[in-house]
Amino acid sequence: MAITTREGDHSYVTQPAKILAMKDLTEDTRYFKFKFLDESIVEENYKPGQFAIMSLPGVGEAVFSISSPPTRTDFIEFGVRKVGSFTEALFKLKVGDLVHLRGPYGDGFNMESLRGRDLIIISGGLGAIPLRSVLLYVEDRREEFNQVFFLNGARSPADMLYREDIIAMAQRGIIESHLSVDKDDTGEWPYHEGVVTTLFPKITDRVVSEKTTAIICGPPIMYKYVIQELLKLKIPKDQILMTLERRMKCGQGHCGHCAIGGRYTCLEGPVFTFYDVQHIKELI
Ligand SMILES: Cc1cc2nc3c(=O)[nH]c(=O)nc-3n(C[C@H](O)[C@H](O)[C@H](O)COP(=O)(O)OP(=O)(O)OC[C@H]3O[C@@H](n4cnc5c(N)ncnc54)[C@H](O)[C@@H]3O)c2cc1C
Ligand code: FES
């Protein structure tokens, strides 16, 4: 974008950004919309799947995926789950308060290389946060893509992120969406029940393996089973793209926190192809 300073400037310089809006998505996860105070910062020079580092003076900093697409400028959005000290402090802020952002970091989805392809986008739990950037990019550039399937899984109806938005996108013909919860504890869930892989039969008859790229983000346990389904559909390993999040600190290859199997996930990832990481046991 560069959120922080100039593109390629790998520094720890942060930029203040004001909270424009926020909204609870679930009991513990909140949507945040920010605007940089420096109006010369262009919020479009990043790829879906990249992340930013947010800091609060006196509290610390934390890593979050950019949830808005680069096709929508003038603001930047995140989805944050409250899990500990940083996120608790963030949740106490009000509209108009400031955070500090640096980035964008990591490698994301190269959407331009997916032009003309069918997409199967598979999300589990918080995975919908970075994949929202992909979905909204597809919405804004719909003519560039062919069939787009979205399979979204959550633990329960109350845990499903962006449910209304996804249904609205499907109604507008942007995506074909299939929603599933592991367990319906309400008795009122109108969609599918079962883990996300049980949604595959709804699309398999229309998947053309040589034209399809799969995009996955979800909890670690999900990858193994989703990849098995994709390989059954004969999707090539280099067309299975996934975002793998590991503990990160600096975000720019300095601290070593994110290194796994000899790879720095903050630099080479978080988006990898299955082909690239299939032999790194710790990654999947
Ligand atoms: C590339 C990347 C993208 C991320 N994107 C998002 C996002 O879009 N939305 C979001 O809510 N979170 C995201 N996270 C996780 C987020 O960075 C952590 O939840 C955050 O740092 C927690 O800070 P805290 O001080 O509130 O919690 P802490 O006090 O640091 O930790 C509280 C609990 O959260 C767990 N935790 C801490 N850090 C992580 C982590 N990196 N991954 C998984 N569990 C963690 C700890 O084990 C502990 O149980 C992302 C992480 C990475 C590496
Ligand atoms: S997060 Fe510091 S090297 Fe990757």
Q: What is the pLDDT of residues 95-116, one digit of tens each?
A: 999 999 999 999 999 999 999 9
Query: Which atom of ligand 1 has the smallest separation from the CA of 60?
Result: 25
What is the maximum span of the chain, computed from C-alpha positions, in angstroms? Answer: 54
Is the fold of 15-105 the same as that of 111-243?
A: no
Spell out where the chain has E strands: 15-24, 29-36, 51-56, 60-65, 76-81, 98-105, 118-124, 148-154, 176-181, 192-193, 212-217, 240-243, 259-260, 263-264, 271-273
Segment 29-83, tens digit of pLDDT: 999 999 999 888 766 688 999 999 999 999 999 999 999 999 998 899 999 999 9
pLDDT at 2 over 60: no
Say how many Å lie between the CA of residue 229 and the centre of ligand 2. Answer: 32
Q: Which atom number of ligand 1 is nearest to the Cα of residue 87? A: 26
* Residues facing 153 on adjacent strands: 124, 180
Ligand 1 contact via 85 beta carbon (within 6 Å): yes
- Cβ(38)–Cβ(15) below 8 Å: yes
- List Cβ neighbours of 212 (8 Å cut-off, separation of 6 or more): 117, 118, 119, 120, 233, 235, 239
Assess whether the C-beta atom of 64 lies below 6 angstroms from ligand 1.
Answer: yes
Nearest residue (by CA) to ligand 1, atom 35, is 83
The number of the ligand nearest the C-alpha atom of 248 reads: 2
- Where residue 261 falls among pLDDT bands split at 50, 70, 90? confident
- Is the separation of the CB atoms in 213 and 145 below 8 Å? no
Could you say which ligand is closest to the alpha carbon of residue 245?
1
Around ligand 2, the residues with Cβ closer than 6 Å are 248-251, 253-258, 264, 266
How far does residue 78's CA lie from ligand 2's centre (Å)?
Answer: 21
- 137 or 284, greater pLDDT: 137
**116-133 burial: b if 16+ Cβ within 10 Å, else e:** ebbbbbbbbbbbbbbbbb
Q: What is the pLDDT of residue 6?
A: 46
pLDDT at site 35: 93
Contact 227, 240 (CB under 8 A): yes
Of 5-9, 42-46, 63-67, 126-130, least confident by mean pLDDT is 5-9
Residue 78: count other Cβ atoms within 10 Å of its Cβ. Answer: 24
Mean pLDDT of the chain: 92
Of all ligands present, the nearest one to the C-alpha of 61 is 1
DSSP state of 92: T
Pairing of strands 98-105, 51-56: antiparallel
Give me the residue spans of the domains in the chain.
15-105, 111-243
pLDDT of residue 5: 46
The bound ligand whose nearest atom lies closest to the alpha carbon of 68 is: 1
CA 193, 195, 196: angle at the middle one, nearest 5? 100
219: Cβ below 6 Å to ligand 1?
A: no
Domain 15-105: CATH architecture, name and number where available: Beta Barrel (2.40)
Q: Give the CATH number of domain 111-243; options: 3.40.50.10860, 3.40.50.300, 3.20.20.70, 3.40.50.80.
A: 3.40.50.80
pLDDT at 42: 63
Supply the residue whose CA is at minimum distance from atom 21 of ligand 1: 62
Nearest alpha carbon, ligand 1 atom 44: 247
57 CA to middle of ligand 2, Å? 21
Closest ligand 2 atom, residue 255 Cα: 2
Indicate if the pLDDT at residue 8 is higher than 70.
no
Answer yes or no: is the C-beta of 153 below 6 A from any ligand 1 atom: no
Query: Is the pLDDT assigned to residue 90 strictly greater than 70?
Result: yes
